[in-house]
Amino acid sequence: MDFQLTKEQRLVQQTVRDFAEKEVAPLAQEIDQEGRFPRETVPKLAKLGLLGMMTDPKYGGGGVDSVSYTIAVEEVSKACATTGVLMSVNNSLVCHPLEKFGTESQKEQYLGPVARGERLGAFGLTEPGAGTDAGSQRSVAVKEGDEYIINGSKVFISNAEAAETFVIFVLTDPTAGARGISAFIVEREFPGFSVGKVEDKMGIRGNGAAELFFEDMAVPADNLLGQEGKGFKIAMGTLDGGRIGIASQAVGIAQAAMEESVKYSQEREQFGKAISKFQAIQWMLADMATEIAASRHLVRKAAYIKDSGKPYSVAAAMAKLMASDVAVRVTRDAIQVHGGYGYIKDYTVERLYRDAKITELYEGTSEVQRMVIAGSLLR
Ligand code: COS
């Protein structure tokens, strides 16, 4: 067992850290305040190869391991959690299923442009009545000749505001429940496809989460991803990797909150000395550091298992459960360290606290992660 990063992984860490500090962090506050999608960052992420990191270089990807990917998502999220999830969605929820389940021609037509960042990706699973109960889809595809006609809608779709290529999940057999779900690749330009209201959210305010509408949208039968009826499994398998991305995002948010707290506690004086001299503050910082390190280990372990080709659903669920819980606790304590100043929008920890909360909700709530973990114990 080796806990050291490899030379390549350290290089990814340093390169992405430098990039995030220079290009991502300066926009974070504005993106949050204006709820603005960071469109100008997309080509920069693409140039550095951060939008298709694990994709085979044959399709324009970076071909790096999943551990390197967790490091990159952590670094970008530390600078701006909105940009972190933009990246995680493109890599984990779009490039991954296109590469794993796509035909050669689908990979050439769709994976390449998404992995190279020429077209941004989004993942459409959630519906108003199908959140945790992802099997209860209502959107329907009916086959007519060499097309499927799709009607329905999606909600809370990250990246939707700017994305051009979508992996969506709809019923091809409404009588078969979750086993009647199929995955399709659709493009923003398809007639009958539209993007609705962009949500005004508590945190990750610039990720362009919006509704999708499909009104008699004709999709070529060739755009079926995987087999008919296998959509639920494709979605669940994809979310396993997505959860590693979100867990990495949570670690990045928590790390940022800890670093802000260390800095502030050494600058802020009360009772004639820096508040870092008080044990109450020191203990909070010590707990932050310990819990972040534990989360990071779970995240990298899940990525390591994924890279080794073994099942990683449970490891991913554990990593997300713990890292998101820690992110919420650490950011809350970071506000405590900052006192009243932490409650003011001028201070980064105020945003971090709001950004952290979503990590307990999307790509499976903490309760879902517990269902996956408990399910593995009680089989
Ligand atoms: N990978 C591949 N296949 C999986 C899988 C995974 N991780 N998890 C389940 N499956 C398969 C099962 O093997 C089963 O296949 P069969 O039909 O051949 O038996 C099928 O999917 C149904 O499995 P199961 O009965 O365990 O699924 P449930 O409906 O009980 O799943 C939970 C329950 C809650 C775990 C699941 O619906 C879930 O993860 N929901 C949250 C969804 C989510 O994260 N939404 C947020 C989206 S934000 S983009």
- The domains found in the chain, sorted by start residue, are 7-120 (1.10.540.10), 122-229 (2.40.110.10), 232-377 (1.20.140.10)
d(CA 65, CA 118): 22
211 catalytic, yes or no?
no
> At which residue do the structure tokens 């991502």 appear?
24
Q: Given this model, what pLDDT does residue 1 score? A: 80
Which pTM does this prediction carry?
Answer: 0.98
Rounded-to-integer distance, Cα 153 and Cα 121, Å? 17
| Contact in structure between 27 and 41 (CB atoms under 8 Å) | yes
**Long-range Cβ contact pairs of 337-342 (< 8 A, separation 24 or more):** 337/261, 337/264, 337/265, 337/275, 337/281, 337/284, 337/285, 338/260, 338/261, 338/264, 338/268, 339/268, 341/264, 341/268
Residue 123: predicted pLDDT: 98
Q: What are the two backbone dihedrals, phi and then psi, of residue 365, each rounded to the nearest 5 degrees?
A: -65, 170
Contact assessment for residue 169 and residue 96, using Cβ atoms and an 8 Å cutoff: no
Kindly state the helix (H) or strand (E) to which residue 28 belongs, with its residue range: helix 25-34
Q: How far is the CA of 369 from the centre of ligand 1 (A)?
A: 11
Alpha-carbon span 306 to 331, nearest angstrom: 29
Nearest CA to ligand 1 atom 21: 233
* Residue 232 CA to ligand 1 centre (angstroms): 7
From the number of C-beta atoms within 10 Å of its C-beta (0-12, 13-18, 19+), residue 200 rates as exposed
* Distance between CA atoms of residues 110 and 112, nearest Å: 6
Cβ pair 329, 258 in contact under 8 A: no
Q: Pocket around ligand 1: residues whose beta carbon is below 6 Å from it?
A: 123, 125-126, 132, 134-135, 178-179, 232-233, 236-237, 239-240, 313, 362-364, 368, 371-372
- Is 121 exposed, middle or buried, given 0-12, 13-18 or 19+ CB atoms closer than 10 A? buried
Render each residue's pLDDT in the chain as its tens digit; 379 residues.
Answer: 889 999 999 999 999 999 999 999 999 999 999 999 999 999 999 999 999 999 999 999 999 999 999 999 999 999 999 999 999 999 999 999 999 999 999 999 999 999 999 999 999 999 999 999 999 999 999 999 999 999 999 999 999 999 999 999 999 999 999 999 999 999 999 999 999 999 999 999 999 999 999 999 999 999 999 999 999 999 999 999 999 999 999 999 999 999 999 999 999 999 999 999 999 999 999 999 999 999 999 999 999 999 999 999 999 999 999 999 999 999 999 999 999 999 999 999 999 999 999 999 999 999 999 999 999 999 8
Other beta carbons within 10 Å of 268 = 16
The catalytic position among 189, 260, 363, 367 is 363
What pLDDT shows up at residue 88? Answer: 98
Cβ atoms of 277 and 372 within 8 Å: the answer is no
Residue 165 backbone phi and psi in degrees, to 5: -120, 125
State the alpha helices, DSSP H only, in 172-278: 231-267
